[in-house]
Amino acid sequence: MVYEKGEDVEIIIPERMNIAEILIDENVRAGRGEKIAVRCCGDRDLGIPGSEITYWDFMVNTNRAGNALRKTGIDVDDRILMIALDTPEFLYAFFGAIKIGAIPVPVNTMLSPEEYLYYLNDSRAKAVVIHGNLTEKIREILDRAKFLRHVIVIETEKHHAENSWISFQGIMDDASEDLSPLKLSKDAMAFWLYSSGTTGLPKGVVHLQHDMLYSADTYYRHVLNVRESDVCYSVSKLFFAYGLGNSTYGAFRFGAESVLDPGIPDPEKAFRIIEDYRVSILFTVPAFYNRMLGVEDAETRFNTSSLRLCVNAGEALPAVTYHRWRERFGVDILDGIGATELTHIFISNRPGKIKPGTSGIPVPGYELKLVDEEGREVPVGRPGKLLVKGDSIAAFYWEKHEKTKKAFLGEWFDTGDMYVRDEEGFWTHVGRADDLIRTRGLWVSPVEVESALLKHPAVELCAVVQGYDENRVGIVKAFIVLSRDVSPSKELENELRSFLREAGLKGYKIPESFEFVSELPMTATGKIQRYKLRLIEREKAFNSHYEKL
């Protein structure tokens, strides 16, 4: 039987609370009012200046934002869609909404107008808070947003609110800096996030007041040991559950500092931010770690001595990436797995307890088990579907009753991830349930094959998916982005197969088909979208079949 419980920890959750007050106001009451809470590095091209915000400034501006939103007619439980870049204004709007009992709903800033229309209508948002340079993305769909009453624009040096819209800075300037946070039940709604819609429309994940507090007091306290002196920098953005935790409650719960970058992530810029702001904890994803490793002589060109920890989530971190990073920069990467529905990370490697290639061990405060297709628990060493239990699990999917019933199983949540636990107690990700590949009557983990391929110097990125031969029989198919100055060839394909055999992969796991591409489809948060490649392969197989008919 594979069942494991993280260490018991005491987590005190008040019956009535406001998470914004706990994360912001309590720092001021603790004497940290003059301490820096947020530094924004700015972006000249976007017209966003750099800034430095103390905890006192943070509290005052959050109060103003809450009062301003209330004055526009926003009330308890009203949703506010946020299409906002990583700036202090995002934080003011997000936590200002929570202080008055409204529900902020951050979404990806890189979507299409139709996707934003879906979010507006699905959430029934009364207002949208949007950065000025993104307003073109919603202009054409506003007349179809059924419940929207206000467009609130975060103005930049280059983009201002139109006459019919509201200036966020303008209404804040007119608002009082005094605001008593509305204390609600610990089980009241606090914020929503939308899960990725890889198998249908995105789902609104409803989080409660206590979820951030539980995540902070488990993962950030007991795994990362975040302290007041830390400077946290997340390459992953605020609209993503991973980035939201790293840049907000994971830092603010402990009086630490958060560095925000409103621009497009760039590996050279990331190194400059680490050096300039003396970052102590870096958070990003495997694809970005690999891009940073591709920066020549980074270990000598940039001062990274301030780093005490690096963190990975979003996708499993290949062991080869861990070792290359550790060798060049002398800092561990703690790989872990989280989920939008869990608020943050619930399995993680620990400082001093790392097994490269695994997700680690349960975070204190969480319980795990693996089950087969019939729901029976599986033994150690055998893959199974991962279920997790912990008090940061979301309440439900908004107006998705059938999907809620399938995923939220009493106290347990079905992650949809396939895992195996070894004899040492480390948990290894073997893919999403729908990512597993069927070939020759056997199952293949794409993660295992990808990890092996990435050890070859010619491979920069790769994705392994279910492919099909000319008879529509399932095979292992690899999409490869080659390293600089390497050209595709049949000889290279044979070399890669030999390399995988020598690495110990069994014959049925070695790709029968390779396709060399210039890029892989990825989410804004750095996850490879294998499902898009699977769909392409499935469509090609069926089109070929019908052509033969």
- The per-residue DSSP string of 170-220 comes to HHHHTS-S------EETTSEEEEEE---TTSS--EEEEETTHHHHHIIIII
Distance CA 432, CA 454 (A): 19
What pLDDT is attached to residue 525? 63
Q: Are β-strands 459-468 and 474-482 bridged in parallel, bridged antiparallel, or unpaired?
A: antiparallel
pLDDT over 90 (residue 479): yes
According to DSSP, the residues that pair with 334 across neighbouring strands are 311
Q: Provide, for the chain, the percentages of residues in helix, strand and coil under a 3-state DSSP scheme, each rounded to the nearest 5.
A: 35, 25, 40
What is the pLDDT confidence band of residue 520, given thresholds at 50, 70 and 90? very high
Determine contact, residues 91/59, Cβ cutoff 8 Å. no
Distance CA 366, CA 347 (A): 8
pLDDT over 70 (residue 348): yes
What pLDDT is attached to residue 3? 63
List the structure tokens of 191: 């914020």
Q: Give the mean pLDDT of 521-538.
A: 82
Kindly write down the DSSP assignment for every residue of 380-423, as one continuous string: TTS-EEEEEE-TT--SEETT-HHHHHHHEETTEEEEEEEEEE-T
Distance CA 156, CA 138 (A): 17
Lowest mean pLDDT among 291-295, 434-438, 479-483: 434-438
Determine contact, residues 141/121, Cβ cutoff 8 Å. no
For residue 359, which of 325, 321, 312, 392 has the smallest C-alpha distance?
A: 312
pLDDT over 60 (residue 198): no
Distance CA 28, CA 417 (A): 41
For residue 471, which of 541, 539, 543 has the smallest C-alpha distance?
A: 541
What are 446-467's pLDDT values in tens digits? 888 999 999 999 999 999 999 9
What pLDDT is attached to residue 178? 97
What is the pLDDT confidence band of residue 469, given thresholds at 50, 70 and 90? confident
Decide yes or no: CATH 3.30.300.30 for domain 435-548. Answer: yes
User: Which range is most confident: 2-16, 153-167, 336-350?
Assistant: 336-350
Q: Give the mean pLDDT of 41-56.
A: 95
pLDDT over 50 (residue 546): no
Determine contact, residues 313/285, Cβ cutoff 8 Å. yes
Determine contact, residues 316/448, Cβ cutoff 8 Å. no
Q: Give the mean pLDDT of 259-281.
A: 97
H helix or E strand, kind and range, residue 277: helix 267-277
The fraction of the chain above a pLDDT of 70, given in percent, is: 96
Q: Give the mean pLDDT of 338-343.
A: 96
Q: Give the mean pLDDT of 250-271.
A: 97
* Residues composing the chain: 549
Distance CA 171, CA 192 (A): 24
The one-letter amino acid at 476: V
For residue 69, which of 176, 145, 190, 229 has the smallest C-alpha distance?
A: 176
Phi–psi pair at 342, nearest 5 degrees? -95, 0
What pLDDT is attached to residue 199? 52
Number of C-beta neighbours around residue 176 at 10 A: 12
Lowest mean pLDDT among 44-53, 351-360, 406-415, 515-524: 515-524
What pLDDT is attached to residue 493? 95
Number of C-beta neighbours around residue 303 at 10 A: 13
What pLDDT is attached to residue 530? 86
What is the pLDDT confidence band of residue 545, given thresholds at 50, 70 and 90? very low
What pLDDT is attached to residue 543? 65
What is the pLDDT confidence band of residue 215, given thresholds at 50, 70 and 90? very high
What pLDDT is attached to residue 370? 95
What is the pLDDT confidence band of residue 542, given thresholds at 50, 70 and 90? low
List the structure tokens of 31: 């004497």
Q: Give the mean pLDDT of 467-477.
A: 85
Lowest mean pLDDT among 78-82, 226-230, 248-252, 376-380: 376-380
According to DSSP, the residues that pair with 428 across neighbouring strands are 420
What pLDDT is attached to residue 434? 76
DSSP summary character for residue 32: I
Determine contact, residues 232/281, Cβ cutoff 8 Å. yes
Query: Distance of CA 42 to CAs 242, 281, 411, Å?
Result: 21, 20, 42
Distance CA 63, CA 67 (A): 6
If one compares 251 and 156, the residue with the highest pLDDT of the two is 251
- What predicted TM-score, i.e. pTM, was given to this entire model? 0.86
Q: Give the mean pLDDT of 186-211.
A: 89
Q: For the stretch 429-440, what's the b/e string if a residue is b when 16 or more beta carbons lie within 10 angstroms of its beta carbon?
A: bbbbbebbbebe
What pLDDT is attached to residue 211? 98
What is the pLDDT confidence band of residue 549, given thresholds at 50, 70 and 90? very low
What is the pLDDT confidence band of residue 548, given thresholds at 50, 70 and 90? very low
Distance CA 398, CA 401 (A): 8
What pLDDT is attached to residue 470? 81
Distance CA 389, CA 401 (A): 20
Mean pLDDT of the chain: 93
pLDDT over 70 (residue 50): yes
List the structure tokens of 361: 């061990």
pLDDT over 70 (residue 268): yes
What pLDDT is attached to residue 31? 98
For residue 327, which of 360, 350, 352, 298 has the smallest C-alpha distance?
A: 298
H helix or E strand, kind and range, residue 104: strand 103-106
Number of C-beta neighbours around residue 15 at 10 A: 9
Distance CA 7, CA 505 (A): 35
H helix or E strand, kind and range, residue 474: strand 474-482
H helix or E strand, kind and range, residue 533: helix 530-548
Q: For the stretch 113-135, what's the b/e string if a residue is b when 16 or more beta carbons lie within 10 angstroms of its beta carbon?
A: eebbbbbbebbebbbbbbbbbbb
Count of alpha carbons within 13 angstroms of residue 480, beta-carbon side: 29
What are 301-311's pLDDT values in tens digits? 999 999 999 99
Q: Give the mean pLDDT of 333-337.
A: 97
Distance CA 212, CA 277 (A): 26
pLDDT over 90 (residue 122): yes
